Structure 1
């Protein structure tokens, strides 16, 4: 399969068709270079403009990735933080623009961190740093960042991420809980609104797919039932006692 030709067709459609969501430079050039088939399970559909599911997260469609990066407006040499790395595709495109050593990424789901690392290494971007973190807390030891992009929705910009922006830096994230809008923020002010989007919410620890689910035992269930029965009074309590005789 000739992936380079498929990449060109994909980017041509994003630059020139009715979508027109990608600028030829630098985002379009970077997307022409990144082998998206390294980041999706169905490589024969890797260059169609569609999203996929992987480990309870969404792999962004090329047009959505392009919208994020166009709003972010990264430049060569910028230090960038990706919050919600997913499978790593957006981080790879950023690596083509700013250089892999300038891209840092976090995800709250440990499984996705391992997947993103493997995908990035296979695609030739092993110098991108990917760590397992609560995205709302950012990556303070590598701050400040010239650009931060969040691939999850929040009601407002997380304070820690704003604090980790360099002077004049830009944060792009989907704002809202129900109806969402992609916004760009600089110096605490909204400087760009880039249309409606639909992202999953930014997770807190315990909500990620890799979190350990509490295994409540039969004993606990029984104890809860007994306490609930004993807390009842009047005829209801007498009826329960009568049933247990």
Structure 2
């Protein structure tokens, strides 16, 4: 079946009252335009409303993307930063809404940065800037941003990202640990929560997929695995200064 038909069917289902994930014309038009199959190695399955795994990251389901962009609500020509770009699909949706040259994206995992660049280029969005950065630090060189989308959860909005918002800017992110909600954060740090969600944590340096470790013995592997199963991740620790 033609990909455009599959995209229309996908968005029609997201607009239906049973899901109601997409409500605005702007998000509907953008998601109908982006060739999702360029970002997922499954031409037909790409338009199913389910997540995928790729290089250790989760590719968000279309319904989740719709929810995020309804809250982000970027206007034409807004400057947008996507944190945790993954394979690049959400950055492509932003590019459809504001223009490719207004979209900047970062990911802590270098392999995903290369993947996102290739996918965005293949899909026709090669003006989107993608760089390898720690998500909590943002991309200050191109700040301020009218909109910031964070595709990973944290206990508190990283202060660096809030500081990179324009005066009327808006940051959307999964907020919380085990009990998460999508949150809209303003430039003053005010938070509004909008429905539950479940996202992976915002990684700190050393936790990214594909990070290099020194060689260990089999005994050390077992000890490290047992220790890792018990320890809290960076996003759960209150002693980390997220500011």
For the aligned pair, the TM-score class normalised by the smaller chain equals: 0.7 to 0.9
What's 2:89 paired with? 89
2:196 aligned counterpart, secondary structure: strand
What's 2:228 paired with? none
1:203 CA displacement: 0.3
Post-superposition Cα deviations, 1:178-218, rounded to whole Å, max 9, x if no partner, equal 1100000112111x322111000000111111210222369
Alignment partner of 1:189 is 2:190: yes
Q: Give the distance between the partners of 2:206 and 2:86, measured in 1 at CA.
A: 17
User: Are 2:24 and 2:70, in contact at CA under 8 Å, matched by a contact in 1?
Assistant: no
User: Are 2:95 and 2:102, in contact at CA under 8 Å, matched by a contact in 1?
Assistant: yes
Structure 1 runs of 4+ aligned residues shifted over 2 Å read none
2:21 aligned counterpart, secondary structure: coil
Post-superposition Cα deviations, 1:134-166, rounded to whole Å, max 9, x if no partner, equal 000000000000000100000000010011000
Q: Give the distance between the partners of 1:34 and 1:213, measured in 2 at CA.
A: 37
Q: Considering only aligned residues, what root-mean-square deviation do their CA atoms show, in Å? A: 1.4
Which sections of structure 2, spanning at least 5 residues, go unmatched?
Answer: 221-243
Alignment partner of 1:47 is 2:47: yes
User: Are 2:108 and 2:134, in contact at CA under 8 Å, matched by a contact in 1?
Assistant: yes
Query: How many aligned residue pairs are there?
Result: 219
Q: Give the distance between the partners of 1:135 and 1:148, measured in 2 at CA.
A: 11
What's 2:3 paired with? 3
Q: TM-score, normalised by structure 1?
A: 0.87
What's 1:71 paired with? 71
Structure with the greater alpha carbon radius of gyration:
1
1:1-245 map, 5 Å:
1-186=1-186, 187-190=188-191, 192-216=192-216
1:104 CA displacement: 0.3
1:131 aligned counterpart, secondary structure: strand
User: Are 2:72 and 2:172, in contact at CA under 8 Å, matched by a contact in 1?
Assistant: yes
What's 1:242 paired with? none
User: Are 2:80 and 2:148, in contact at CA under 8 Å, matched by a contact in 1?
Assistant: yes
Q: Give the distance between the partners of 1:127 and 1:138, measured in 2 at CA.
A: 19
What's 2:230 paired with? none
Q: TM-score, normalised by structure 2?
A: 0.87
1:130 CA displacement: 0.3
1:41 CA displacement: 1.3
